[in-house]
Amino acid sequence: MVDMTQRALVLDFGGVISKTLFETHDLSEEALGLAPGTLTWRGPFDVSTDPLWSDMQAGRISERDYWTTRARETGSLVGKEWDTLPPFLSAVRGDDPSQVIRPEALAAIATAKKAGHRLAILSNELDLFYGKEFRDRLPFLADFDLIVDATYTQILKPDPRAFDFITDGLAISAADCVFVDDQLKNIRGGQAVGMTCVHFDVTQPAESYERALTHLSA
């Protein structure tokens, strides 16, 4: 039965809740013992530095392909063979993952929860990229009513079935969901199933969350 009295804030994780690796090169370099300025790829912050990012945005490679390549490249700088994401991200994120969580995300989550809205995460690779242990070190995740991770479902956004996991799991209509993601293809997927969507701008997180909360309270 669909609950017609509540709305839900549905968030992607990487880039939306956590800062991107592009924003934390200084932390990564420190954690890996690399000289400042070693990591030069900047993704959406400076596409001229990152043709591989442009390939991903154009659909020539997948997001997983992009980050697997970056893991291998970075691993080679420190004598590691990182062919999967968890060891790479564990190394660059360090022992305190709270450092890479957006304060704007925590504020928006608290605002939505206080207003009585539901909270959900819809991620294509939460545990695949970060490892299961990462969640245990982020106590705010306990505030979420539902976490859907394609690491286990094997149904990736923008597949409509990925969004069905949210509406079915929360027993809520798509029209009552505000979905926030930093990838345009996923935004289009959310729009296709009837969700209100906010294309998250990683260069302007506060403004993006403000738009999401405005839609949520409309």
- What are the E-state strand segments in 29-176? 118-123, 146-149
| Residues found in the chain | 218
- Report whether 42 contacts 22 (CB < 8 A): yes
Residue type, 197: C
HSE (side-chain half, CA atoms, 13 Å) at 12: 28
Q: Which CATH superfamily is domain 8-18+101-217 in?
A: HAD superfamily/HAD-like (3.40.50.1000)
Asked if 180 and 12 touch (Cβ cutoff 8 Å), the reply is: yes
Contact 25, 34 (CB under 8 A): no
Report, as ranges of residue numbers, the positions in the chain whose pLDDT lies below 50: 1-4
Cα separations (Å) of 149 from 83, 85, 133, 145, 154? Answer: 21, 15, 14, 13, 8
Upstream peptide bond of 158 is cis (omega within 30 degrees of 0): yes
pLDDT of residue 98: 87
pLDDT of residue 102: 97
Residue 2 pLDDT: 44
According to the model, what pLDDT value does residue 5 have? 58
Q: What pTM did the predictor assign?
A: 0.90
Q: What's the confidence (pLDDT) of residue 14?
A: 92
pLDDT attached to residue 132: 80
Query: Residue 202 in contact with residue 20, Cβ under 8 Å?
Result: yes
Q: Using one digit for the tens of pLDDT, what is the confidence trace for 86-101?
A: 899 889 986 778 889 9
